[in-house]
Amino acid sequence: MDRREFLMSSVAAGVVGLMSNDILAQSLPPISPMGIASASMRHHRNGLGVLPPLSEDSIAYVDYCRSLGAGGLQFSPVGDLKKVRARMEDLGMWFEGQARPPSRLTDSTDAFEDALIKTREMGGKVVRFVSRPPAGTSGRRYNGFTSMEEFLAWREEADKIVLKCLPIAERYGIKLALENHKDRLVDEHVQFIEEVSSEYLGALVDPGNNLSMMESPEEVCTKLAPYVLSCSLKDMGVAPYEEGFLLSEVIFDTGATDQRKCWEILKAGNPDLNPIEELITRDPLKVPCLTEAYWGGLPHYSAAELARHMTWVRENTTELPYVDHLSPREILQAEEDNHLAVIEWSRTNIKV
């Protein structure tokens, strides 16, 4: 039985969460600087019918992620938060929270406030915060809106929702890290944060997201670095297809983006920033930038700009991962292998 099989069987039996700190520490790898975002743990969080869902047992979730070498976590804990916090502190791990804003301006902020309360109980100082997309859409601007007017109407309400949530965050002393979630272009993101001008509103910078809108990771990081509160590091692989290009999270240093440089830019903007990876194990996303529908909610690029981007895609094409055809156990293994590789990468490439 290898390490993974032992751990999976231990989690299934509830053993890992019951291990004493001394016993668990003896089996752990050295802690790394890299934390893990919960979005990239989705297969282990839901279990795929192979494991009990780790989203339902935060102690087991913490223990599992620490067994990979993770130095911290960004997630929404459940259960006895005093025990979860104590477990993370005993293991030397840091914590960042998550808080979902209301979908509509008229909706209640109770769930949002509850997330802030839990974050404070866990000792967190910042939460990942994402503007909710229109109902029935993915949140990707290029396939969620049919016109600029439609996007601007959504953005106006989304910005007002942030302003509605901000006084609550100030009251609890928790900062909102608003993600560039394939919605606001980087200049729009910067403009909004500057206009609000609150120490409790900043950016969660995802270097990969805005590639879907043909903005470079280094540009996004550079412009948002003065406001960064959190991050979602991810190397992206690209490849052309008939309607545009494919975009996929890949093991760091195997794709088309430089995560070490992105981290250095962001860290210079906020010396207290935690490094968090968000390598999501999934099939590549299709970015149909050669179709008219893609541009519905986006300002049109010139033909020359579009051609330059597609040339960059072709010059940086790599083999992309596909996992949907795998068995549940194979998908879980692929997700674990991805995290192990990125955490190992962080030991020599992330300076904190």
**pLDDT tens digits, one per residue of 68-121:** 999 999 999 999 999 999 999 999 999 999 999 999 999 999 999 999 999 999
Least confident of 12-16, 71-75, 191-195, 308-312: 12-16
**pLDDT tens digits, one per residue of 231-264:** 999 999 999 999 999 999 999 999 999 999 999 9
Q: pTM higher than 0.85, yes or no?
A: yes
Alpha helices of the chain — where are they, by DSSP H? 3-12, 21-26, 42-46, 58-67, 81-90, 110-121, 141-144, 148-172, 186-196, 217-224, 259-269, 303-315, 328-349
Nearest to 142 by CA among 42, 289, 345, 333: 289
Strand-pair partners of 205: 231
Tokens standing for residue 109:
């902020």
Give the mean pLDDT of 159-169.
98
Distance of alpha carbon 134 from alpha carbon 123, whole angstroms: 32
Supply the pLDDT for residue 68. 97
3-state secondary structure of 180: coil
Fold of 3-235+257-285+327-349: TIM Barrel (3.20.20)
Q: Where are the domains of the chain?
A: 3-235+257-285+327-349
Supply the pLDDT for residue 26. 62
**pLDDT tens digits, one per residue of 166-220:** 999 999 999 999 999 999 999 999 999 999 999 999 999 999 999 999 999 999 9
**pLDDT tens digits, one per residue of 273-307:** 999 999 999 999 999 999 999 999 999 999 999 99
Supply the pLDDT for residue 13. 47
Nearest to 116 by CA among 101, 127, 129: 127
